Amino acid sequence: MKPLTKLIGVSKSIRQTLLGDLFTNKRFVIGFTIFLFIILLGYVGSLFAYPDPWKISYYTPGGTDRCTDDLRYLPPSPEHLLGTDNNCRDIYTWLVVGLKNTIWIAALAGVIGTLIATVLGMIAGYKGGLLDDVINFSANFMIVIPMFIVLLMIVGYVPERLRTSMLVAVVIGLLSWPGPTRVVRSMVMQNKAADYVDMAKLTNFTSTEILFKEILPNIASYIFLIYINSFSSAIFTEVGIGAIGFGPFDAVTLGRAFNAMLAGGAITLGLWWWFMSLGLVVVFLSYSLLLINLGLQHVFNPRLRFTVYAV
């Protein structure tokens, strides 16, 4: 069976206006610009960074392996854009490498969380009955218990050598489905009552077909919003657990860089460029994602554009 949209034939111009709306939406444009800038900082910026974040100072020609006091806590300079830390390592390199790794961890965690939420939410919302009760109850249960504490508990028990970026990403993802599941579930329930689903039923669609060919395309834009949300909160989570020393142990991440900054005594020594650079990257990254999310919401849901400001 062909999807109904194909049978009826929706004109292409809808897609074009959507893109047009998107790039005239101020929030989206600002958010997207900041986001792009930060991604570029990670990828283009790493061209200006040293290849190995662990290597002790490159300041002297050839680089030494010994950390002497005159190489410690250097202020920003052309050689070390953000100076060096207590172990004579280049802070800028840690920032860009950490940024890249954190983005990957958060992206993966977001995919896992959103995928679980979509599947569970669609089953619960469409099938109803006992399955719905079980899924809904577990989601509510997980929402009541703060996931951050459960996460701490899990990563706290895992020995350092087993705490890889992959593991952290998977754990964050596995713990982030409850809220999104409820959103997907309620959206599917709304859509289930819509006329087009009745029509699909009359056309003899199976429930799998209805779910994947009819309802899923309709809620896909919202699932994308959910993904951006999960991505953003996964960044927060990674940096949070990393900052207190429970982040991935096999790679430099933003959380690890935070931890190194705290351990290196950046605050008491007044090395503001160190903690400001790390914090501002995290803040602007999540702010840009919020702006993108709000912008997309307005474009996806034209009703918002008229009601919210119609006071």
Partner 1 sequence: MVSSFQRYIINKTATYIVLWFLAAFLNFLLPRIMPGDPIGRYLETLYNMGQGTTGGIVQVVPEAEKLRQQVIEQFGLDKPPYTQFFLWLINFLRGDWGYSLAFPNLPPVIDLVKQYLPPTLMLLIPSLVISWVVGNYLGAYMALKGGKVDKIGLSSMQFISLIPAYWLIIVLVFIFGVYYKILPVSGKPGYMIPSLSFDYIKALLYHWILPMTTITLIGIGGWSIGMRAYVIYQLNANYMKYSKALGLPQRVLGRYAFRNAIIPQFIAFAMSFGGLFAGNLLVEMVYGYPGMGSLLSMILGRLDIFGMQAIFTFTATMILVANYVADIMYGFLDPRIRRGITEVVE
Give residues in contact with partner 1 (CB under 8 A): 136, 141, 144-146, 148-150, 152-154, 156-159, 162, 236, 239-240, 243-246, 258, 262, 266-268, 270, 272, 275-276, 278-279, 282-283, 286-287, 290, 307-311
Q: How far is the CB of 146 from partner 1 (least distance, A)?
A: 4
Taking the CA atoms of the chain, what radius of gyration do you get in angstroms? 24
Looking at the Cβ atoms of 59 and 275, the one nearer to partner 1 is 275
252 vs 282, beta carbon nearer partner 1: 282
Residues 289 and 299: their CA atoms lie apart, in Å, by 15
The minimum distance between CB 240 and partner 1, in angstroms, equals 6
Residue with smaller CB distance to partner 1, 13 or 268: 268
DSSP run (H or E) holding 245: none
Pick 216 or 290: Cβ nearer partner 1: 290
**Closest C-alpha to 108, from 160, 47, 174:** 174
Query: Measured from the CB atom, is 46 or 286 closer to partner 1?
Result: 286
Nearest approach, Cβ of residue 204 and partner 1 (Å): 33
Distance CA 79, CA 72 (A): 14
CB of 4 to partner 1, least distance (A): 31
CB 5 within 8 A of CB 217: yes
The least CB distance from residue 26 to partner 1, in Å, is 10
Do the Cβ atoms of 213 and 3 come closer than 8 Å? yes
Among 243, 196, 239, CA closest to 217: 196
**CB of 241: closest distance to partner 1 in angstroms?**
9
8 A C-beta contact, residue 192 and residue 210: no
User: Given the complex with partner 1, which of 275 and 300 has the nearer CB atom?
Assistant: 275
Residue given tokens 């009703």 in the structure block = 303
Q: How far is CA 159 from CA 162, 166, 251, in A?
A: 6, 14, 15
Longest Cα–Cα distance in the chain: 79
By beta-carbon proximity to partner 1, the closer residue of 43 and 141 is 141
Q: How far is the CB of 83 from partner 1 (least distance, A)?
A: 16
Query: How far is the CA of 42 from the CAs of 168, 253, 281, in angstroms?
Result: 20, 12, 10
| Of residues 22 and 290, the one with the C-beta less far from partner 1 | 290
What is the nearest approach in angstroms of partner 1 to the Cβ of residue 16?
Answer: 29
Closest CA to 279 of 287, 268, 291: 287
Residue 203: exposure state from Cβ atoms within 10 A (0-12, 13-18, ≥19): middle
Question: What is the chain's length?
Answer: 311
